[in-house]
Amino acid sequence: MRNRTYEKIIQYVSLTMIVAAGGIIGALPLISSSSAEVRTVISESDMLRAAFAQKISQICEIDTIDTKERPWQYIVIHHSASEKGNATRFDTYHREKKGWKYGLAYHFVIGNGTLSGDGEIEVGNRWKNQIHGAHTANMDCNQVAIGICLVGDFENGGKPSEDQFDSLVRLTRYLSSKYDIPLSNIILHSQVHQKGTACPGKNFPMAEFKTSLIQFASNEISPSRKS
């Protein structure tokens, strides 16, 4: 499953990145044969991690250099409480049924393979233009909380797919690192101080999510390189 995810993300990676990575691979034998002292090893997982990181950073680019970044302090995880969905569908619902002029309440939507790709990260207008969210009933929280919604109903039998979970970990890690958001401020919608909600459902694996974030961060700090 893990390899399948890598293959998929690799397809997203720009040609430049592939050429650059190819250059690294091509250069390796030369490095090791020209000098016995130099034993730089760039593993496949290092390159994949770099490719993912570049892709996530491209996804998270905001609209223009004039757009002022908000002082994000929290990341709130949601499920859509529906079997199917994508950013466009939720945007229409929030605009037309809820009457929210900025539309899509969340900043990011991660697909489950129904109306968008499995693990595909869609970016909302509120992120591109650094607009507050509308994803909780706590307006103070909405001002400073990045909203990420996973398509699916994790309260009634469903659970995040492996690819969705993987994308969520990578996106959350990127955002928490960029905005200095501590692990304690990465929370579920049900943990926000507001009227009770089950979101993102009892089947969302919060403990596994936090463990994965910690592991992911430690891999970044000590990448598998030998010298």
Q: Segment 117-136, which members bind Zn ion (CB under 5 A)?
A: none
SS3 206: helix
Tell me the C-alpha distance between 100 and 38, whole Å.
59
**Minimum distance from CB of 78 to Zn ion (Å)?**
3
* Stretch near Zn ion under the rule CB under 5 A, chosen from 26-34, 84-92, 122-130, 196-204: 196-204
**Minimum distance from CB of 216 to Zn ion (Å)?**
23
* Stretch near Zn ion under the rule CB under 5 A, chosen from 4-12, 29-37, 192-200, 204-212: 192-200
**Minimum distance from CB of 199 to Zn ion (Å)?**
3
**Minimum distance from CB of 70 to Zn ion (Å)?**
19
Bond into 200 cis (ω within 30): yes
Instruction: Identify which of residues 49 and 89 has a Cβ nearer to Zn ion in the complex.
Output: 89
**Minimum distance from CB of 188 to Zn ion (Å)?**
8
Instruction: Identify which of residues 52 and 204 has a Cβ nearer to Zn ion in the complex.
Output: 204
Closest CA to 149 of 106, 198, 194: 106
Specify whether the CB–CB gap between 195 and 137 falls below 8 A: yes
* Stretch near Zn ion under the rule CB under 5 A, chosen from 44-52, 115-123, 178-186, 199-207: 199-207
* Stretch near Zn ion under the rule CB under 5 A, chosen from 14-22, 52-60, 171-179, 193-201: 193-201
Q: Which of 75, 189, 192, 213 binds Zn ion (CB under 5 A)?
A: 189
78 binds Zn ion (CB under 5 A): yes
Q: Segment 37-66, which members bind Zn ion (CB under 5 A)?
A: none
Specify whether the CB–CB gap between 142 and 134 falls below 8 A: yes
Tell me the C-alpha distance between 91 and 125, whole Å.
9
Specify whether the CB–CB gap between 101 and 212 falls below 8 A: no
104 binds Zn ion (CB under 5 A): no
Residue 20 burial (10 A CB sphere; 0-12, 13-18, 19+): middle
Instruction: Identify which of residues 119 and 133 has a Cβ nearer to Zn ion in the complex.
Output: 133
Tell me the C-alpha distance between 14 and 20, whole Å.
10
Specify whether the CB–CB gap between 204 and 81 falls below 8 A: no
**Minimum distance from CB of 76 to Zn ion (Å)?**
7
Specify whether the CB–CB gap between 189 and 197 falls below 8 A: yes
* Site residues for Zn ion per CB under 5 A: 78, 189, 199
